[in-house]
Structure 1
């Protein structure tokens, strides 16, 4: 049928999911229910959309590609619980959805080129979000779910785990997509903490400490943080300045950020 003849666009990073088994497994993992508020980012040709609407949930979708709008409207526009928002998810104001706090369930097969900035954009609206289920490049999911001590542990792991509990649900091979990507994918669940386990005095200073620490991840903290904290300040935070950044857990980075906050304010 001609309405479905849409070619995936490289500039949008499009790879359309078509494997029915994978689609069913993702929908089972999300387990949407009647009356819930769902937001799907980048629905593409609607592979997940149909199942999400079938749950009885209220579904908003955000799609950037103008060529996909008529396809989505023809498939789902008659459904009163479906609302299509054309635009860029990176610039979308999630407050316009008028969702209750901690109610919004976000779903997306995210283009690899925008996945990290989009996750940070969503985390800035974490007060609205109950959970997020994303299809991402497998190596990105491994970084999100990483633990201290390994090469995957870094800025993305720390800043996402500051806000969320992370679960690497399952992997998806290239054959589940059209066209097949050159990399493996994975499904991740992110659940924003209702109470932060390690709240920082100043979230921006935590971001700064983490960014500086991992700019030269092979160097010791004493060297990478010397523009922010001297050896005495690092030790005062209960951290060994001779360690490399990947050896520190989230709580240690928060202590370093709080030390910088005290130093900055004189508190």
Structure 2
């Protein structure tokens, strides 16, 4: 009897992963198929498709969104890793008026050159959320908009503003390059198999022209500031290890140049690789979530003096360890932070304009971050 119960339990568990026409969905590919037609209709309505549009779709799965998109566009280019899904999608449009509009490319969208498209509409595989966003933002020529389904916590990070708990380096980098808005929430029960998390749909519209900035320098500054986003900037920049790093970069730095479009595009794509998040683990692990939000003892009460004590040169016998000689680089950094009024601010409070002002002021003093 015990064996029969175990066998039935195992069979029931395996059946929950079966979807359209008995296909076994693979979690490794992030296959959570949107099965609610009303949600699909709403997504397409909010996308604002035109009859002249070329649409990009990533991970069409069994084609529930695909067939609806084809009814409203000129052409649809889809990227799909799983050959079983490609067969399924083509079966659904075979011998229909929209069959000629569909092109499915087998492979990883992150590893292929993406052709021209006007708009991207996709139920995004969650494990490629971050690199996909930046790959799209690096695409040239620029597209009109992307309407994408993400894990809700990731979507909330994309739209987070200064002071929000989820405001982070991802928020600043994406909002520098695009306007992002939240369109709708989608319950996990609208998918087969249901994911462990809730989802949201966002609209991303790239800023055209893109900001005139060195993205490697920009992200280098953000990496430093968001290591402890609740810590005052003075405390961050006066750490010995940070001073040493900036000194080394200053010695090796060459004259900055805009680098042209190619360098900018490559830099944007690298942003996504550096911020890729394993959503199946990171957002469900409370410790990982809280690591980014951890408050510093000194930052919690807002005391700049306490923060300075932590990083002040150690004294021995009443004398400074450095012999009483003040670090000129530290003095320059403190001068810049005081002049820009950012010394007592924290990254969690700063706007994009604040970061641009800070980067410009530090560049004028010869500081480099890439």
1:219-243 C-alpha deviation (Å, 9 max, x unpaired): 211233443482222344x242111
Q: Distance in 1 between matches of 2:358 and 2:141?
A: 25
> What RMSD, in angstroms, separates the aligned Cα atoms of the two structures?
2.1
Any conservation in 2 of the 1:62–1:84 contact (CA below 8 Å)?
Answer: yes
Q: Distance in 1 between matches of 2:35 and 2:223?
A: 38
Q: Please state how far the C-alpha of 1:168 moved relative to its aligned partner.
A: 0.2
Q: Distance in 2 between matches of 1:164 and 1:170?
A: 19
Of 60, 64, 83, 2:103 maps to 83
1:96-127 C-alpha deviation (Å, 9 max, x unpaired): x2x2xxx5201111122110121112122164
Residue number in structure 1 paired with 2:354: 252
User: Hey, which bits of structure 1, 4+ residues long, moved more than 3 A?
Assistant: 260-266
Q: Does 1:192 align with 2:209?
A: no
Q: Distance in 1 between matches of 2:54 and 2:94?
A: 17
1:144-200 C-alpha deviation (Å, 9 max, x unpaired): 11111121111111111001111100100011000111111000000011245xx35
Larger mean CA deviation between 116-125 and 174-183 belongs to: 116-125
List runs of 5+ in structure 2 lacking aligned partners: 1-18, 247-331
Matches within 5 A, 1:61-72: 61-72=78-89
List runs of 5+ in structure 1 lacking aligned partners: none
Residue number in structure 2 paired with 1:12: 29
Alignment CA distance shift 1:251-1:77 (3 Å): farther
Q: Distance in 1 between matches of 2:336 and 2:175?
A: 25
1:57-115 C-alpha deviation (Å, 9 max, x unpaired): 21100011122121122223551111111110111212xx2x2xxx5201111122110
Q: Does 1:43 align with 2:60?
A: yes
Give the number of the structure whose alpha-carbon radius of gyration is greater.
Answer: 2
1:127-149 C-alpha deviation (Å, 9 max, x unpaired): 42211000001111111111111
SS at match of 1:151: coil
Q: Distance in 1 between matches of 2:341 and 2:208?
A: 27
Q: Distance in 2 between matches of 1:75 and 1:184?
A: 28
The TM-score normalised by the length of structure 2 is 0.65
Q: Distance in 2 between matches of 1:127 and 1:240?
A: 37
Alignment CA distance shift 1:89-1:120 (3 Å): same
Of 227, 235, 242, 1:215 maps to 227
Of 329, 336, 349, 1:233 maps to 336
1:6-40 C-alpha deviation (Å, 9 max, x unpaired): 12111111110001111111111112111111000
Q: Distance in 1 between matches of 2:183 and 2:170?
A: 18
Q: Distance in 1 between matches of 2:148 and 2:64?
A: 14
Larger helix share, 1 or 2: 2
Any conservation in 1 of the 2:186–2:200 contact (CA below 8 Å)?
Answer: yes
Residue number in structure 2 paired with 1:203: 215
